[in-house]
Structure 1
Amino acid sequence: MVDDKTASGTSIDDPRNSPANSPTISPTISPIDFTPVGGAKKSRRPQLRLVPTLITALLCIAAGLLWFLLTARSVELKPSPPTATINVSGGISFHIGGRYLMRPGAFQLQLSAPGYFDLEQELLVSEDAQQSYPLALDKMPGHLTINAHPETVQISLQNATQESRQGETPTTLQDIPPGSYTLQAQAERYFAQSLDIDVEGMDITQQLAIDLQPAWGQVQINSEPAGAQVLVNSSVQGITPLQVDILQSGEPVSLKLPGYKEWQQTLSVPAGEQREWPLIELQAADGILLFSSQPSGAGITLNGNYLGTSPLKIELPPGKPQQLQLYLDGYYPATHSLNIASGEQRELKITLKAKLGKLKISAQPADARLYIDGIAKGKANQSLKLLARPHRIEIRKKGYTSHFATLTPQPGVERTLRVKLKTEAQTRSASIPATITAPSGQKLKLFRPNTTFTLGASRREQGRRANEILRKVKLQRPFYLSITEVTNQQFHQFQRQHTSNHASGNTLNQLNQPVVSVTWNDAARFCNWLSKQQGLAPFYLEENGKISGYATAATGFRLPTEAEWAWAARWHKGKMAKFLWGDALLPSIRSSNVADRSAAKILPRVLRGYNDGFAVSAPVASLLANNNGLYDMGGNVAEWVNDYYSIAASASGGVESDPLGPTKGQFKIVRGASWRHSGMTELRLSYRDYSESARDDLGFRIARYAE
């Protein structure tokens, strides 16, 4: 069956397919490929130009060599040893006639030689045209085999850089660094030898033979009688007659024979020589006396020659009478005669007779204890017999200071020892010095009032002021008080620029005049300064230059308390004085510097009937001291004391003990009259003034507690 469409998909009946509508088709002739029989078409290859290429390569190589030759450097490598093998790596190099051509840069060298340690080293070739480098290889250690005569010798090999090598022959010392050494060789009874040797190293074993020379000679020893045992250095050698070796340096030789004394002597014989010692005649042996005494420790003399103390082993010559004497403190001497045979050993004991004396002890307190020569003997109050020799006596009781004494009792005589122990406080108090000197030069005197007295004055006393209230005070604590007032010279050590000025044209600035124009604070700070100079704890508490309180337990320097000042100024024979000079208003002698005729030109009121010779303040201690040895307590200048001012009586109404005054206030108390005072009120020692400012008639003196 035929499809209605052609193979191209167009219908046969389609008018487009009719001949009328089809173009004319011309036949086309295409060429046909043709390959001849017998082979394909051959292509033409280009021919290589071998000769020009080879020439070019050779030229490049030549250029490279020329470049190397122009840029390389001549390097000489000088190995030690010269036979060392050298291997160069790390770059191009040529070895030509003992030198190397090498370009600048780093190379690695490896050197080796028999007997040497290999060397690896970096070589830096520089830009220099000619270069030379030494290359040294280190030698390997060597070995040393040592033999000696005698066979056993102690050796020591050493030099300045190596540790000492020790050994004993025969031996081989291994791995010795090459160099020069000193070998010390020694053996008992031979002369030591010292050798200088050179160790070659390079793993070579060297041989060394040492021949030590004998250090002894020989001596022939004979004795009478013969047969004595001969010992050299305590070593038995044989019996006499005998030839023995003796060192040239000498050796102790002894001969022993029963019944005879031991013979001893140090002999020496030149090395290599033979000698004969003179005949040794042995002496008969001494007798032996084993001597003791009761008690022991007695001194012993033999025929008047001191031997020692008992017990004692004594060698006595035989067949001769001997006399022994014994001496011991506290015992009667004893004498004993004896004769002893050769070789005899005898024991002898002698009892000494005691030499006694009597001692009676009377001690307080009654329950004190007694110690004699450190041995407790019970209660101290007793009578006892003691050996007539020195004894250390001690009497003690807890809380008291022990009493020591050394006594020697005498036979037939009774001695009595009376002792009153002091308490520790009494002993401590007794040890306090009576006077001391402050760092600035003031002398201070010790006072121990320990008594009750009355401050102030009776209302009936003429001139009394209302603030002089009577009150009971007891001073228990010992204290020091300066004998004089502080002077300008002494105060200048603390404040160099201070001036006391003048009064009505009269100077107050002489070095030995009392310092004035000082405040209470200045005076207290001066006291603290003294304490620091002497290493004492300051009494006054100080903050920013101001006194803020007291350290009452401190023993540093301070101002006297009002109670201390009043007692020191007034106390005499159990009562308080009215004036410094007595009870009358006018002084009968020049005892106080007050306002008198000498000050009439500068003061409106003066004592016309008295003249002390000073218009203003006098040099300290110019007039008489008071009954307590203190100067100017009632004149010259008034004085600051420690206390704040108050007129109130004691709060308790009882006895005040070591009062320091109120703890605060505005004013400080001033005690004592001055060169400005002439009235009865001011001249009385009970006069109490106060101030908060400095004055030209107001100074101070210093004090401190003794303990």
Structure 2
Amino acid sequence: DPADPDSFSIEGGWFRLPISDRILLRKGNYLVKVEKQGYYDIGQTFVVGDEQSMTVRLRMRKKPGQLQVLTEPLVDALVTIDGALVGKAPYGPIELQPGDHQVEVQSERYLPFEDIIAVAGLDREDILHVQLVPRWADVDVRSEPAGANIYSGDEKVGVTPAVVQLLEGKHDLTVVREGFSAWDGNVIAKPNVALTLPLIRLQPADARLLVKTIPRGANVTVNGRYRGQSPITLSLTPDIDYEIGMSKAGYGVTSRKLRLQSAASESITVDLSARVGTVTITVEPEDATVYVDGRARGTGKTTLRLSSAPHRIEVKRNGFRSWSRTVTPRPGYPQSLTAQLRSMQAIARDAVATTLKTAGGQTLRRVEGGTFSMGASRSEVGRRANEVIRPVTIATPFMISIHEVTNEQFSQFRKNHDSGADVHASLAADDNPVANVSWSDAVQYCNWLSKKEGRSPVYREEFGHWVASYPFADGYRLPTEAEWVWAIRYAERQQALKFSWGAKWSPPKNSGNYAGRTSRELVPSILPSYDDGYASTAPVGTFKANPIGIFDGGGNVAEWVNDWYTVPTPGITTPVVDPTGPQRGTSHVVRGSSWHHAGETELRLSYRDYSAERRADLGFRIARNAD
């Protein structure tokens, strides 16, 4: 599915005879390969046995599609897809999985756009043209005489005659011209609906008032309506009571009541008293410089008395990203700010994506390098002789799956795999980790996934056995033992965890999938005081992740790693860089405990096991070098 592939081939055996829409094959193992434009290639194995007839069903998965979002008109607009902000329009193309996606476009002066867009996928590119609808109304304002200033609230928006744009909602409109009484009115603006106001006839006013303030630039109102900033000459109608208000950020608010006679010309000067507050800025690093409104005011921890107006506080140091905040001091209420600057080096490291998805559905987590010790102290309870302490350095960042590979994910590679349903039904559940796989099964899955993404396979078949090629290619692989320890036992920190839940025995409630009371019918020994509710494996991610978000490092299934098994040489003091283990061996290293384990030895994160065979409690997770 679909039924008309671009190419179809079967590999294996030596006899193939097409008969109508079927193929006659001898008993044996075969590999069918199918390719079609717009779909991921399929390579699936199947076995022909003694059956008279069989049908192999292949369902091809559509490749993602590309979506580009364009707006008309071309304005600053934010694009959100499926609830996640992705960027500014024009945006894209962005890769999206086939299916319906919610697209939202928002711009400050336009009505929000929202729609469900069907993405066909199949490697096609779609363009979404978004026609934005204005949130404003065009309002035609004319006055007699012309040349009057138009204010919406305290903002000057034009001079009559003019068509002004007012955002949807109610607006207090004022029309003012010197020598005339101001006109005050209200306008209700509806989105994209033009409005023409009746002609405004301004009445002469022969009384004048000059308003001055200390400091200058205070907002001046007349009976609560904004008229401008001081100094300003107001034209007033005589013999009417007025309240003149004056205010400025950081200073007091005051008003004067007055009435002017006909032909009067008067002035008032008001001293606005400053209001100050205390602000203390604590900085890190301690030699960073504190700036207020662009002027340096101190180094390190700084305490300032500032007017109660908004101030821009900045903290700067070479090699660090600057910190800034806008603060309004409050008289009588001291404020404290803490500025922790981040180095440009740390910011550059964080800019690298920490997680991504694979074509097989796994989430990978990026892990940076570090130097640490593998093994355990001889005094540690439960330690085995193969847990030799040796120093290691991971120099190459790598990606590791946060979950163990599930049955459903593995079935894309090997459809009829059985993780042990005859042992316990849950072992075969889709969301539970795949088990009963050999090391060769695991690395063949890695190669299959590498090919799906166009990456170079890491493993090759050599004389009937699968081996790794060094140095590692860019494809998927099993984590090395050192990578497993750094990501799961250390979680990129300097202090190793003893158990996945902490330092003390025994496991607390819901700390992992181990052999508890529910498992008593399947395992030789149990933790009598522990019960996780699962007889065998649990769905991946059921229990708490480690500090960097990796699940099931202890419990569920034990895990194959890349290395051949050996007992390390004691006494090494120089860190080995990016170790991959010995070049040859008879068994591979197994790390981590499983649902089958109940002992303190096995549940420690330093526990090392090895195997050459499949087990019903043994699976794997994937890794690769970071791009």
With structure 2 as the length reference, what TM-score do the two structures score? 0.49
Task: Kindly name which structure, 1 or 2, has the bigger radius of gyration based on alpha carbons.
Answer: 1
With structure 1 as the length reference, what TM-score do the two structures score? 0.44
